[in-house]
Amino acid sequence: MNIIIYEGDKAKLEAILTGFIEESSARLAMIVDNGGMILTRIGDFNGIDIQPLAALTAGSYASTQALAKVIGENEFTGVTHQGKRNSIYISMVANFGLLVVVFDANTTIGMVRLSARDTAKKLGPVIAGIISRSR
């Protein structure tokens, strides 16, 4: 199956992510598929190599979900990696991809998580549309 992204999809995804950045004050947000490919991205990527960021977050999330099953959980709904200056929050979107957020001291994990939950709901139908057209 090939995922095909048109101008309209890009505009919708970017509009939702822009709203998320404004609401949460996160540094950047991107949508990555389960295999580590970037669908779209918004925010301040200065000094960040985005392809390894996508590949590693997809790997990290996948291994975290496998870890959940080891201890008898179906899934961990979100994953946080906390750093001194920058942190990462990853959550699943539409059973297909990941919302990857990098944030710093301008906001809090609580705020990011809250906004991410609403954002995932908005992203769901758009991503479902992309998947339904893919072949």
Partner 1 sequence: MAQINIAEKEITVKIVYYGPGMSGKTTNLLYVHQKISKNTITDMVSIATEGDRTLYFDFLPIETDIIPGFKAKFQLYTVPGQVQYDATRNLVLNGADGVVFVADSQWSRQKDNVESFENLKENLAKQGFTINDIPYVLEYNKRDIEDTARVEYMDYLLNREEFKVPTFESIATEGKGVFDVLNAICRMVVAKILKDVKR
- Contact, 86 vs 102, CB < 8 A? yes
Interface with partner 1 (CB under 8 A), residue from 25, 34, 80, 86: 34
Interface with partner 1 (CB under 8 A), residue from 5, 15, 105, 114: 5
Q: How far is the CB of 17 from partner 1 (least distance, A)?
A: 14
- Contact, 14 vs 122, CB < 8 A? no
Q: Which two tokens stand for residue 110?
A: 């609580």
Q: How far is the CB of 3 from partner 1 (least distance, A)?
A: 5
Q: Does 81 bind partner 1 (CB under 8 A)?
A: no
By CB under 8 A, the count of residues binding partner 1 is 27
Rounded CA-CA distance 115/106 in Å is 14
Backbone angles phi, psi at 95, to 5 degrees: 55, 25
Tokens 């990462």 -> residue: 88
Q: Among the candidate windows 4-12, 21-29, 76-84, 107-115, which touches partner 1 by CB under 8 A? A: 4-12
Tokens 């990527």 -> residue: 45
What binding mask, one character per residue, do residues 35-74 give for partner 1 by CB under 8 A, x or -? xxxxx---------x-xx--xx--x--xx--x--------
Backbone angles phi, psi at 103, to 5 degrees: -135, 160
Contact positions toward partner 1, by CB under 8 A? Answer: 1-7, 9-11, 33-39, 49, 51-52, 55-56, 59, 62-63, 66, 135
